[in-house]
Amino acid sequence: MTLPDGVERHDFGGETGLATRGEPVYGEATDGAWRRWDPDRSKLGAMLALGMETGLAGSETVLYLGAAAGTTVSHVADFAGPTYAVEFAPRPVRDLLDAADPRPNLFPLLKDAREPESYAHVVEPADVLVQDVATRGQALVANRNARFLRPDGRLLLSIKARSEDVTADPAAVFEDVLTTLEERYEIEASESLAPHHDDHLGVVARPRRDGTF
């Protein structure tokens, strides 16, 4: 697996982990100017730790849906270009603003990812769409936001089975979500995020090229 420029492996107390260079955000371990990207706290971090080929190279324009308090999106902004962070809950956005303060390329947006028209006037075309939104209809959110992706861009999605249906078999939930995603995307890879995150599926996809949307 090729790591993005700006993501390295460092030793933290005798344990090797991924790291980005930036100000700490959530009490993570540090090695000089480098901060550990904890895969147990980050779905995208787990995707990288598990060796999924995300296609991230570094310096991309990123739209991040479900930014919460900034745990993962702060790591992304450490190595990416302009990074738009969408979060609908006011309380975590206050922490997100703190994470953005030393990162001039990180732009918090107090918006609902289910309503992309509310921030379409702000967000520029993105190379990467990262989504970690714990809500029913995760595929619909990704499909609605496909409008922001460049034709050669990619979606990096974490599907949380219990957000779709707490009673259903996760495998069945994942199948349904992937089927809906295929209305707008070509699925390149999908992999369980266990042991870092139970009942989660990491997905790498690209916008469909056949003009069906």
87, β-bridge pairs = 110
Phi-psi region of 132 (alpha: psi -120 to 50; beta: other; left: phi over 0): beta
Domain covering 38-207, topology: Rossmann fold (3.40.50)
Residue reference for tokens 């955000």 = 25
Tokens for 20, please give them.
Answer: 């980005």
pLDDT at 212: 47
pLDDT at residue 139, as a whole number: 98
Residues belonging to the binding site are: 71-72, 87-88, 112-113, 132-135
Question: Where is the binding site for S-adenosyl-L-methionine, in residues?
Answer: 71-72, 87-88, 112-113, 132-135
- Spans of the chain below 50 pLDDT: 212-213
Q: What is the pLDDT of residue 213?
A: 43
| Residue 2 confidence (pLDDT) | 85
CA dist 153 → 40, 62, 109 (Å): 26, 10, 21
Query: Token digits for 126?
Result: 């993105």
* Strands of the 7-12 sheet, one edge to the other: 7-12, 15-21, 34-36, 30-31
Residue 209 has what pLDDT? 83
Contacts 24+ apart (CB under 8 A), 29-35: 34/8, 34/10, 35/75, 35/78
Identify any residues that bridge with 21 across adjacent strands, giving them in sequence order. 34
Ordered by start, the domain boundaries in the chain are 38-207
pLDDT at 182: 97
Return the H-helix or E-strand segment holding 11. strand 7-12
- Cβ atoms < 10 Å from Cβ of 113: 25
Helix (H) or strand (E) holding 43: helix 43-49
The CA-based dihedral angle spanning residues 35, 56, 179, 70, taken in that order and rounded to the nearest 10 degrees? 30
